[in-house]
């Protein structure tokens, strides 16, 4: 079945560590997105990519990095520079300008 897969579902990070969240899609979509969701704040765009080897910062890119080496994959690294990383992270993919399909999310907690 076609879809978008995020892993892991739950992730714990110690202070000062970098962690990488995985996002894979087999929908042949060109565009992929990473969002952060905090209670009461809706979804905020971290990074997005329209094509392989190209990506752009969203509204809250500081402390995050991404890569797009393959069309199917768009991993997100939460670096130690991100001071408040505890949140629910959602990956999505779409044809440009059309509806986005979402993964099931990764809940990141700093311990």
Interaction site with another protein (CB under 8 A):
6, 31, 33, 35, 40-43, 45, 48, 50, 56, 58, 88, 90, 92, 94, 96-105, 107
Shorter beta-carbon distance to another protein: residue 91 or 110: 91
The distance of closest approach from Cβ of residue 4 to another protein in the complex, given in angstroms and rounded to an integer, is 8
Question: Rounded to the nearest whole angstrom, what is the least distance from the CB of residue 14 to another protein in the complex?
Answer: 23
Closer residue to another protein, CB minimum distance, 77 or 102: 102
Residues facing residue 90 across a β-bridge: 35
Torsion sign over Cα 95, 48, 60, 102: positive
Kindly tell me which of 82 and 94 has the beta carbon lying closer to another protein: 94
- Per DSSP, the residues of 52-67 read TTEEEE-TT-TTEEE-
**Burial code of 36-72, b = ≥16 C-beta within 10 A, e = fewer?**
beeeeeeeebbbbbeeeeebeebeebeebbbebeebb
In the complex with another protein, the residue whose CB is nearer, 85 or 103, is: 103
Q: How many CA atoms lie within 13 A of 64 on its CB side?
A: 26
Provide, rounded to whole angstroms, the least separation between the CB of residue 80 and another protein. 26
Work out how close the CB of 16 gets to another protein at its nearest, in angstroms, rounded to a whole number.
Answer: 27
């Amino acid at each position: 079945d076609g879809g978008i897969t995020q892993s892991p579902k739950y992730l714990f990070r110690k202070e000062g560590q970098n962690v990488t969240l995985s996002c894979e899609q087999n929908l042949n979509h060109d565009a992929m997105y990473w969002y952060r969701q905090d209670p009461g704040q809706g979804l905020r765009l971290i990074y997005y990519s329209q094509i392989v080897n190209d990506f752009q910062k969203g509204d809250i890119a500081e402390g995050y990095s991404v890569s797009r080496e393959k069309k199917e994959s768009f991993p997100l690294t939460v670096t130690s520079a991100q001071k408040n990383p505890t949140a629910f992270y959602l990956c999505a993919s779409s044809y440009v300008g059309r509806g986005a399909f979402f993964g099931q999310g990764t809940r990141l907690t700093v311990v």
